[in-house]
Amino acid sequence: MSETNKNTVGATERSWSLLFWLPLIAAALLLLCGCAAQSSQPSSGQEPQAGREGQASEQTGRPAGVRGEAPQRDAALGYPSLGDADAPVVMVEYADFQ
């Protein structure tokens, strides 16, 4: 086989190899992007983290003093409370009016 023919055959093989691998590489990249995007979003079963005052305060003994983000109405209204927001002791009452 002449040198020219060898070069032509080599180039053809490389082209076929590229044609084979390129779609696979592209598919792998797409999959990776998809996974990254999905992991940055909460799953449908998750509830929003309200970051509410009492949860932190009961664990640390100090009210966080900052309302969470959801639900917005709750954030605006807050828990009914009495006393200093920086009090060292937080007493939470779960109660019913009936």
Partner 1 sequence: MQEYVEGGTLRFEWRDFPYLGQESLNAAVAARAAQEQGRFWEYHDLLYRNQPGGFPDEKLVGLAREAGLDAERFEADLASGEYEQIVTSDFREGQQRGISGTPTFVINGQVLSGLQPVGVYENAIEQAKREAEGET
Instruction: Give contact residues for partner 1 (rule: CB under 8 A).
Output: 50, 52-55, 57-59, 61-63, 71, 73-74, 77, 79-98
Query: Which residue, 31 or 85, is less far from partner 1 as judged by CB?
Result: 85
Query: Which residue, 37 or 89, is less far from partner 1 as judged by CB?
Result: 89
How far apart are CB 44 and partner 1 at their closest, in Å?
17
Q: To which H or E segment does residue 16 belong?
A: helix 3-39
Q: To which H or E segment does residue 76 belong?
A: helix 72-77
Nearest CA among 18, 83, 82, 78 for reference residue 53: 78
Rounded CA gap, 84 and 53, in Å?
Answer: 13
Query: Which residue, 1 or 76, is less far from partner 1 as judged by CB?
Result: 76
How far apart are CB 43 and partner 1 at their closest, in Å?
18
